[in-house]
Homo-oligomer: A and B are copies of this chain.
Amino acid sequence: MITSENKTPISKIGEFKLIETLTKNIKINNSSTIKGVGDDAAVLKYLNNNTLITTDLLVEGIHFNLIYTPLKHLGYKSVIVNLSDLCAMNATPKQITVSIAISKKFCVEDIEELYSGILSACKKYNVDLIGGDTSSSLTGLLISITAIGEAKEEKIVYRNGAKLNDLICVSGNLGAAYMGLQLLEREKVIFADNSKVQPDFLGHEYLLERQLKPEARLDIIKTLETNNIFPTSMIDVSDGLSSEILHICNNSKVGCKLYLDKIPIDITTCNMADEFNIAPEVAALNGGEDYELLFTAPLSDYEKIRKIKDISIIGSITEDSFGKKLLDSKGNQSDIVAQGWNGLTE
């Protein structure tokens, strides 16, 4: 929760000084960054590879709730959601710009906290912060990040390349971020009813981390490259498996068969889903915010993929006419339906 006790109002130091404070620790690590923060525009040099650009907007009250989201985690996550999009193109993230709009309830120390999370993600992924904009807002906090990456043209993976009989694969496990959110929401309600009750998070660290401090699967990109696996299509799981596989199928003009019991779900996700009386598969299919990579690869890569610990094969690509189907262990088929967990907030 945001309090202003013993903190510095932003009005006291003004915009220029705030920017100076936030940018003074920024270091440039990539040789493709010619000029970072401090001019009308940043300058990049990508002379041998293609440049990739993606952008995401995070709005207080829509995408995050500061009652249970530490600002440092929020900063970290706002970078990750962008880097994840670059990974989903098989590209390497190199730079970001960060624009924020802040209302009066935030003090200098709050924004420094947010930036420490942003810079921590930059450091971990070797990404340079090269520019941005700072503005006031009449209500709450807004973060708009644009990420820039590079890839050789022939290595870029789009959503539209899935082919008949391709394997459908996903990294890590799904549904954990969603169950982490449910847990946070539950404790928020309990806390609102009785502020003396302290939140009960013991043993749920993994779910909370998946929700509050996700990672971009750059490691998977590298593993695939090392193993000479070249995905035919790829997308990151931000809106839930159902929504993402439909994007791949619709863009590639193919159908698919997903095996419900092959979807990787962590045991802690199952336990929490059980507590909430939710089927864990529902969290995986519709939960979102896992930032895992969903991709298709040629059937001939089966042996190579099977050996990689953190990748699961969950289905295969069919003719378009087959439709997009989910098969349970009894052989029952149902249509896959996109049910993003939050309408206008992709």
Residues of A bordering B, CB below 8 Å: 10-11, 14-15, 18, 34-35, 38-48, 50-63, 85-86, 88-89, 91, 95, 97, 99-101, 130-140, 142, 144, 146-149, 153, 156, 158-160, 234-236, 251, 343-346
Indicate if the CB atoms of A41 and B149 lie closer than 8 Å: yes
Among candidates B18, B54, B61, B134, residue contacting A41 with C-beta atoms closer than 8 Å: B54
Residue of B nearest to A156 (CB): B43
Smallest CB–CB gap between A294 and chain B, Å?
11
A136 to B160, CA, bound (A): 28
Indicate if the CB atoms of B46 and A51 lie closer than 8 Å: yes
Among candidates B14, B18, B41, B153, residue contacting A53 with C-beta atoms closer than 8 Å: B41
A86 to B149, CA, bound (A): 20
User: Which residues on the B side are within 8 Å of A146 (C-beta)?
Assistant: 53, 55, 97, 146
Smallest CB–CB gap between A272 and chain B, Å?
27
User: Which residues on the B side are within 8 Å of A14 (C-beta)?
Assistant: 343-344
Residue of B nearest to A346 (CB): B15
Smallest CB–CB gap between A62 and chain B, Å?
5
A-B contacts, 15 of them at CB < 8 A, read A15-B344, A15-B345, A15-B346, A39-B159, A40-B85, A40-B236, A41-B52, A41-B88, A43-B156, A55-B133, A57-B100, A57-B133, A57-B144, A61-B138, A133-B144
Residue of B nearest to A14 (CB): B343
Among candidates B55, B137, B236, residue contacting A59 with C-beta atoms closer than 8 Å: B137
Residue of B nearest to A60 (CB): B138
User: Which residues on the B side are within 8 Å of A88 (C-beta)?
Assistant: 40-41
A85 to B134, CA, bound (A): 15
